[in-house]
Amino acid sequence: MDTLRLKPIRRVAGKLRLPGSKSISNRTLLLAALARGTTELTGVLDADDTRVMREALGALGVRVEALGSEERLRVHGVGSAGGFPVKRAELFLGHAAYAQSLVLAMFMAGMGLGAWVVTRATVRIKQDVVALASLLR
């Protein structure tokens, strides 16, 4: 049997573009919103779930702007110390269960004081919120 021996690789260089992901895009949007200053994001998935997260952040006073396409965004973060500029808002998260989990976990973790109403376009929201709240206790 013929064998091929390869020498160990010491260095690899190049660029890799991964396909967009709802969960990574929404996590990144939320982290950029909580950071102080401006964050530029590339490779953000343009989907319903990420659009409702952007709208929710906008309702909380976070400015998110497209840089030529919906995959390149600039997020003007508000910092986590003072919370969000808008202290009362209704956040509609469509069918985005994961976005809802992120937003509710952030509120329950004390990221600013306020009175927010979070709604979703599904009857499962009550079960989702109860399960999430029990995990955070």
Query: pLDDT tens digits, the chain, 137 residues: what are they?
Result: 788 887 877 766 666 566 788 889 999 998 899 888 999 998 999 999 899 999 999 998 999 999 998 889 999 998 877 778 888 888 888 888 778 778 877 777 666 667 777 777 765 555 566 666 676 66
Strands of 36-42's sheet, edge to edge?
36-42, 72-78, 63-66
Q: Is the pTM higher than 0.85?
A: no
- The class (CATH top level) of 22-136 is alpha beta
Every domain of the chain and the residues it spans: 22-136
Q: Is residue 45 classed as helix, strand or coil in its secondary structure? A: coil
3-state SS assignment for residue 102: helix
DSSP state of 13: -
Q: Which of 37, 42, 38 is nearest to 17 (CA)?
A: 42
